[in-house]
Amino acid sequence: MPDVLKDLSTARIERSRDCLREAKLLLDNGEYRGAANRAYYAAFHALRAVLALDDFDSKKHSGIISKFRETYIKTGRFTPEMSDTISSLFRIRSASDYDDFYIASKADVEAQYQRAEKLVAEIERYLSEK
């Protein structure tokens, strides 16, 4: 694997960790809408970190999610539960960002954060083996 792809993967997983830290800060300060957003982006950048190793990227979130599912979930490298996690994170982030009347509860966002944290940890384990 070219060093440039490994470096790109490393940069993306670091960005993922940054988003996770931001989500925790926002959550702890009652900023639930922002916390939901940052938790999703932690997962999104973690997916991009894995896909960097395949020299793949997409400008569309759906492209990243679809390629990750096709390449890593359907092949058994990650569990189907991760697909559900990605869907949940995306759904709540979208509602928080775009639905004018959606109110993100503390409990929902705490669960959102925990799902993102688990997903990022699983991807970090995977990347540490590469």
CATH number at residue 84: 1.20.120.330
Least confident of 7-11, 23-27, 49-53, 94-98: 94-98
According to the model, what pLDDT value does residue 92 have? 93
Specify the number of domains making up the chain: 1
User: Residue 2: pLDDT above 80?
Assistant: no
The structure tokens listed for 110 are 């705490």
pLDDT digits (tens, 9 = 90+) for 104-129: 899 999 999 999 999 999 999 999 99
Which residues make Cβ contacts (< 8 Å) with residue 73, sequence separation at least 6? 79, 80, 82, 83
State pTM to two decimals.
0.94
- Domain housing 33: 3-128
Residues 6+ apart with CB under 8 A from 120: 13, 16, 17, 20, 42, 43, 46
Contact between 17 and 1 (Cβ < 8 Å)? no
- pLDDT at residue 1 above 80? no
Positive/negative CA dihedral, 15, 41, 77, 2: negative
Mind spelling out the 3-state secondary structure of 27-60?
Answer: HHCCCHHHHHHHHHHHHHHHHHHHHHCCCCCCCC
pLDDT by residue (tens digit) across 56-98? 999 999 999 999 999 999 999 999 999 999 999 999 999 999 9
Q: Please give the Cα distance from 26 to 125 (Å, whole number).
A: 26
For residue 130, what pLDDT is reported?
Answer: 81
